[in-house]
Amino acid sequence: MTAAGSNGAAAAPTHIGTDVLVIGAGGAGMYAALEAARAGAAVVLADRSLIGRGGATVMAQMTVAAALGEQTPDHWEHHLSDTLAAGRGLCDERLAALLCEDGPRRLREMDDWKVGWAREDGHIKQAQAPGHDRPRCAYVDFLATGPAVSRTLRAQLNAVNAVRRIGELVIVDIAVRDGEACGATALHLPTGRAVTLAAKAVVIATGGLTGLYRRNSASCNMGGDGYALALRAGAELIDMEFVQFFPIGHLAPRLVGMDPIMWDPFRYKLGGRLLNAEMREFEQDYATRDNRSDGRYVLTRDLATYAITREVEAGRGSPAGGAYLSFQHVPEAEIRSAFGPVVDRLAANGIDLAKRPVEVAPIAHYHMGGVRVDETLQARVPGLYTCGYRATRSPRPLCSAPAPVATPRGARCRARRSGRRRPPVPHSTCCAARKGATPPIRRRSLVN
Ligand SMILES: Cc1cc2nc3c(=O)[nH]c(=O)nc-3n(C[C@H](O)[C@H](O)[C@H](O)COP(=O)(O)OP(=O)(O)OC[C@H]3O[C@@H](n4cnc5c(N)ncnc54)[C@H](O)[C@@H]3O)c2cc1C
């Protein structure tokens, strides 16, 4: 991409044509790009950050749920029934089934690609998380799942010529012609150049919106761009109020350079007591009949969030306004053996789990609403697909859903269909790009 004209006049937009345009290079976007390339399509994969390094995927440190049956016999239908139960009747069952059925295949494929799932006696280790009826969550030690998934997908992309990767390209509008998505306009951040892209299919994989909340686990790229892009293109948004709060986000003391939701794996491996200001465990008080805590870590995220919020409202919160999470009952050697180098990083932040509890509180973590799509993940605008966070409604009420599993099959088929010529980007869109349309973005620093 060349620099803007030296005479100060706005240069004509750079134009790029392709079969499939994938917007967003997190786990979902990278995987969608690979799939489209495997189906024979030419692909442009664009990201407002660096490819595979912006968004949630690279930040996710914990586990990925799939019915692999490596730790205990399992079947994707068990995973589906746990998911639907946790969704309390609100899930789109077709999409939830897609996620649960595809999950094991995708995790095994990642295994073949050497992602490095933690193993024990040769089999992939699977931890049990709240809401799952058996151990189902695979991970990469230590707290390295998301970075490993990102690295693996980046390596796969490196080996594929059909995917052109463009970082620091903010997509600002989807182009629609005769009711069909046919490309996008964008702003190239390093040069300030407008860019137009023509494509037979457009896939929105731009991640979530939790960066809009004061307390959140998001990166600065998670401001909800994809929702705005889809809505303006004519897609329907649903369940926008369905924000999942992660109950035990880190609150105090100050924690620098670490994932604010990292206490989950500590609880999987070591237990961990959630205490109110009276130093009393309270989860049991909020457990439902079918979800009794029995002192173990079994409350789903919504119930645990409710429990902590109620304790704070009742005046039994910790000093910073949350609850205490204590590992003081766990021998120091056990903490070290479970989390090795992470213990040193905590020490650098002045945290010694064997000696003192930390404070935790609910933080905005995951958005379960988004673009209404069909089973091919196509929105009501032909040619416009979504995946990852965008594929809704509420397929992920449980923690630990496989980030890259939901890929837009329709986009591949559409790109392959011989009858569809690549449409030109509408003139009005090019004009908007030339004028420098305002991107639906906010620059924010990392919160929490
Ligand atoms: C801190 C944290 C920890 C998590 N831990 C887990 C876990 O342990 N297990 C689990 O299953 N899930 C976890 N999740 C959720 C999981 O990471 C996400 O569901 C998943 O990674 C989403 O992938 P994605 O590709 O849809 O989005 P992202 O990975 O967020 O990628 C979206 C990409 O789109 C780009 N983008 C945004 N707007 C634009 C635009 N206008 N133009 C161009 N590019 C754009 C962004 O830069 C970004 O690279 C976690 C999430 C967070 C935030």
Active-site position among 301, 390, 393, 412: 301
Residue 2 DSSP code: P
Atom 8 of ligand 1, residue of closest alpha carbon: 62
**Which atom of ligand 1 lies at the shortest distance from residue 27's CA?**
25
Identify whether the C-beta of residue 157 lies closer than 8 Å to the C-beta of residue 34: yes
Question: With a 6 A CB cut-off, is 400 part of the ligand 1 pocket?
Answer: yes
- The pLDDT score that the predictor gives to residue 177 is 97
pLDDT score, position 88 = 85
Q: Lowest mean pLDDT: which of 90-94, 109-113, 355-359?
A: 90-94
Length of the chain in terms of residues written:
448
CA-proximal residue: ligand 1, atom 4 (nearest): 60
Strand partners, 196: 15, 185
Q: Give percent of the chain with pLDDT exceeding 90.
A: 66
Is 185 near ligand 1, meaning CB less than 6 Å away?
no
Residue bearing the CA closest to ligand 1, atom 27 = 207
Task: Decide whether any atom of ligand 1 lies within 6 Å of the 207 Cβ.
Answer: yes
User: Ligand 1: does its nearest atom lie under 6 Å from the Cβ of 264?
Assistant: no
Average confidence (pLDDT) over 268-285: 91
- What 8-state DSSP symbol labels residue 110? H
Which residue has its alpha carbon closest to ligand 1 atom 9?
A: 400
Give the neighbor-by-neighbor strand order of the sheet with 169-177: 14-17, 193-198, 180-188, 169-177
Confidence at 79, pLDDT banded by 50, 70, 90: very high
Residue 227, pLDDT above cutoff 80: yes
Name the residue of 172, 389, 443 to mutate for ligand 1: max ligand atoms within 8 A of Cβ. Answer: 389
Which pair of tokens denotes residue 266? 């500590």
Cα(258)–Cα(260) distance, integer angstroms? 6
Count of CB atoms within 10 A of residue 347's CB?
11
- How confident is the model over 363-414, as pLDDT tens digits? 999 888 899 999 899 999 999 999 986 444 444 444 444 444 334 444 444 5
Residue 228 CB–ligand 1 contact under 6 Å: no
pLDDT band at residue 427, thresholds of 50, 70 and 90?
A: very low
Q: What is the mean pLDDT of the chain?
A: 84
The rounded Å distance from CA 316 to ligand 1 centre is 34
Active site residue 165: no
What is the model's pTM?
A: 0.84
Closest residue CA from atom 11 of ligand 1: 400
**Among the atoms of ligand 1, which is closest to the Cα of residue 403?**
20
Contact between 261 and 358 (Cβ < 8 Å): no
Q: What pLDDT does residue 291 have?
A: 54
Q: How many CB atoms lie within 10 A of CB 186?
A: 27
Please, are residues 375 and 161 in contact by the beta-carbon 8 Å criterion?
no
Identify any residues that bridge with 165 across adjacent strands, giving them in sequence order: 45
